[in-house]
Each structure stands twice: as C-alpha cells, then as structure tokens.
Amino acid sequence: MSRSIHDITLYYPPHQEGDKLFTQRQNLVSDLYVQYLNRYKPPKTSRISVHLSDNDKVGGYFGSILSASVKFDIKKFWESSDIEKNRNILDAVHRISMLCAKEFDWDIKPFKIAYEKVIETNFVYGFESSIKLSRDKKHKASVLLEKDLEKSTISVVFYNSNNEKLKCVKILDSFQHIMFYGQLLNKHKWFNNEEFGLYTKGEELKIYASLKDDEPKTIIQPKNSDKDELEGYLRRITYRRLENENDIIKWMNH
C-alpha cells in the first residue's frame, strides 16, 4: 500500500455530462497503476496532471507537478463497455507516462510492469499490508485495502501462526481517494493478543477488529485532542453517498 508518484490524473472537461462518473473510474484505474509502480518515483516529480485532448503532448513542470495532454476519444469512451472504459483509461495513463519517461530519461521498466500488473488483476483493486505477529506469537494480522468505483474498504485479515487465513473483518468504509484515509491507514498494530486495527496519534481514535467476534469496534479516547475534533475526523473519513451539492454541504457542516 505504499505510494510512489502521488497520482497520475486524467482531467475530464469540467461541468460536462459524465464528469463525475469518469473521475470515479479514472481514480480507480489510475491509482491501481500508480500502486503497481512499486514505490518508483521519477526525479523531481510528485504527480502528472493530464488533460484529455486531440493529441499526446508532454508539457512542463509547475513545482513537482508535471503537466501533459493525452489523445482521448470521449465519444467512443462512453459508447464502450465497462471493461473497455477501464482499458481506455489505462492505455491513456500508460501512454502518457511512457512519453514522459522518454522525454525526461526515466526508467521505463516500472511503468511497463505496472501496466501488465493492472491487466493481470483485471482491474480489481486490492492491496494487503505486511503481516504482523501478535505479542504472544499465536496469530498474525494485516490490513487489506480494497476499492470500487464509489468507495474504499479497509479490513483486518487474521491468520494463525502457520499463515492460514482465519477471517477478514471490514472495519471502515471510506471515500475513494487516499486523502481521506491515507494518514490513518499508515498506522496499524496489535493492541493486545486479540485486537488489531488502525489508530491515530496517542491512540485517541482506534478502529479495530477482534479475533473473538466479527463486528468492528471504534473507540474515541481524547487526550490532547478535543472529542468533537476526533468525532469530526471520523465523520470525514467515513463513507456516505453524496448525490448533490446539498449533500456535500450538509456533510461538511454536520
């Protein structure tokens, strides 16, 4: 679940029909590609911002953000099947990445590997963290991140000492983009010999699963933070369907 380039984003023309649906699909496919870059980070580049166009073109840098354009037939895209839509996005992301690599003399091997990996997975997004041993060394556990077109799902996977899977318990549905759950996802551990999950600094917020039951638990224990602040953070990272601007305003001001 490590990051390399922060993202490679295809920007659909704003305020046009289908822009939200395109963004959801491109977020899923592009992030899958970026994950399979396996920590490769091109020199001086944190992200590639790509606008849909009539031709492929590598632009310049704004800080560490590289701009580019990619040839993309929007009309043909909407007439294609879901799997073809995924492939169209992947091909566009990969093609412009390869052009950037050649333009700036990057190593092209990681991009080729990422492309093949996405094809092999059939666009199914699922990444598991390293497995951690419990204190009594009787069990192991990891965090599993899965995504679809709407949301990200974070689960705890329990194993016995022989690495045989015991169960998988969903502990959080979050929004699709990593900016919502990324900070929390990086902190996971055994709290004792039965409970494993995510936590914030000082364990003021814990979201975890237990070997003893199949229901996730959320604990808020303010120490240096205000309780309302912690509850607000939990609300912001917990998925809810936002259909329109009013839904977004209510969610932000709840």
Residues 180 and 222 in one domain: yes
Per-residue pLDDT tens over the stretch 101-158: 999 999 999 999 999 999 999 999 999 999 999 999 999 999 999 999 999 999 999 9
Average pLDDT, the chain: 92
DSSP state of 12: P
What CA–CA distance (Å, rounded) separates 164 from 140?
9
Residues 93 and 173 in one domain: no
Which two structure tokens, joined as six digits, stand for 70? 């990619």
Residues 235 and 186 in one domain: yes
Residue 133 lies in a domain: yes
Residues 185 and 103 in one domain: no
pLDDT at 248 over 90: no
Domain of 47, CATH number, reads 3.40.390
Q: Indicate left, alpha or beta for 105 from its phi (over 0: left) and psi (-120 to 50: alpha).
A: left
Closest C-alpha among 47, 55, 54, 52 to residue 31: 47
* Residue in the block written with tokens 């052009």: 99
Per-residue pLDDT tens over the stretch 5-17: 888 999 998 888 8
- Looking at 123, 144, 169, which one is the last position of a domain? 123
Residues 157 and 188 in one domain: yes
Closest C-alpha among 40, 71, 59, 63 to residue 104: 59
What CA–CA distance (Å, rounded) separates 71 from 81?
19
Residues 106 and 38 in one domain: yes
Q: Give the length of the chain.
A: 254
In the chain, the amino acid numbered 62 is F
pLDDT at 243 over 70: no
Q: Are 100 and 48 in contact (CB under 8 A)?
A: yes
Which two structure tokens, joined as six digits, stand for 75? 């009309």
pLDDT at 249 over 90: no
Full-model pTM: 0.89
Per-residue pLDDT tens over the stretch 76-101: 999 999 999 999 999 999 999 999 99
Contacts of 54 (CB under 8 A, 6+ apart): 71
Provide the domain count of the chain: 2
Residues 42 and 141 in one domain: no
Domain that holds residue 217: 126-253
What CA–CA distance (Å, rounded) separates 75 from 21?
14
Residue 2 lies in a domain: no
